Structure 1
């Protein structure tokens, strides 16, 4: 088997194991030993492919951020159809899947990880949440251009409100994720003004 293929397979195996540990044990339980045991590989395998554990975690977060690209394309492709509130509700539920919520907790929990991520992506805010806000803001910008929300809408501020509110809803590990009705209620509250003023 070519080396590149083997490396990619091992990396994906380790990332998948890390996600399972995160979901089961939270940020406190995510250690290099826990990951390699979950993946069923020798302890040295992780350090053979990554500089150290924080380097591994940076790559894990980068993988999660890369997944936002597909959501962004689908969401922006929906602009001008259906309702803005329905698209935002569905996007937030997809954005805040259990693994992403756990990854955000991990970023907040580990200072060194945040520092390294800022070197890779020097943007303000919490990585993943910042990129998610960009996805929502770009979609709202498209809807604004199409006249489906008020022309003077501050789409970046609206996106931050939506991401922050949704994170609060989804962050409770004990209660579990909110249903679409609860998410939709928040979405409608945040965008009510810009949708209403578009109709005036």
Structure 2
């Protein structure tokens, strides 16, 4: 293992390595040695940037939450364009084809990580809570534009979409569901509030 080798943007390199391990091998395989080996750097690099491994994992989860927040801005900007069904299908796929499902498993697996996250973010399941807020914000915008009914309960719709999406994508390590399956879930959940024909 190389030592003393400078790496570019080490925090992001370590986060990306941890994400690959999570997606490939699950939370049980995630150790500081596994992360630094995957990143191709000395073990000391991780400990130069984080107080301990749980601090690293907290940083990883918060970094991935930040990505959801960026996606939220893009989804909100898409209101009024395309179709509501297609926009939601793409958003759900983007969330769950990423590391979201594995992050939920990781947080469930590590008590200390849950404790630290409670100190720095709102209650709820990390990533899924932010994804639910993202969909609720988007649906509110579409309701304001008249593309869904004015009495649509956007919070419940968002929760239902995220819960259904999580079940659809969970335990599908090698073969994510076909886009048509995600589309079918979205159509079923929001069909009664749409004011436009659902796309086929």
Check whether TM > 0.5. Answer: yes
| Distance in 2 (alpha carbons) for counterparts of 1:111 and 1:8 | 31
Q: What is the correspondence of 1:9-158 to structure 2 with a 5 Å cutoff?
A: 9-121=9-121, 123-158=122-157
Query: Equivalents in 1 of 2:124, 2:177: separation in Å?
Result: 24
Q: Tell me, yes or no, if the aligned pair for 2:54 and 2:113 is still in contact at 8 Å.
A: yes
Once the two structures are overlaid, the 10-residue window that deviates more, 136-145 or 11-20, is 11-20
Aligned length: 192
Measure how far apart 1:11 and its partner are.
0.9
CA distance, structure 1, for counterparts of residue 119 and residue 59 of structure 2? 13
Instruction: Supply the distance in 2 between the matched residues of 1:48 and 1:105 (Cα, whole angstroms).
Output: 27
The 8 Å contact of residues 170 and 176 in structure 1, kept in 2 or not, is answered as no
**Structure 1 segments of 4+ aligned residues over 3 angstroms from their partners:** none
Give yes or no for contact 1:133–1:160 (8 Å, CA) kept in 2: yes
Distance 1:124 1:46 in 2: 28
Q: 1:115 to 1:100 in 2, by over 3 A?
A: same
SS in 1 for 2:99: helix
Q: CA RMSD in A?
A: 1.9
1:193 alignment partner in structure 2:
192
Please name the residue that 1:183 is paired with: 182
Report if aligned partners of 1:22, 1:29 keep a CA contact under 8 Å in 2: yes
Cα offsets for 1:23-61 (capped at 9, x unmatched): 221101001111111122222221121011010001001
Residue aligning to 2:160: 161
Structure 2 unmatched ranges of 5 or more: 1-5
* d(CA) in 2 for partners of 1:176, 1:125: 28
Contact preservation (8 Å) 2:100, 2:128: no
CA contact (8 A) 2:23 2:173 kept: no
Q: Determine which structure has the larger helix proportion and give its number.
A: 1
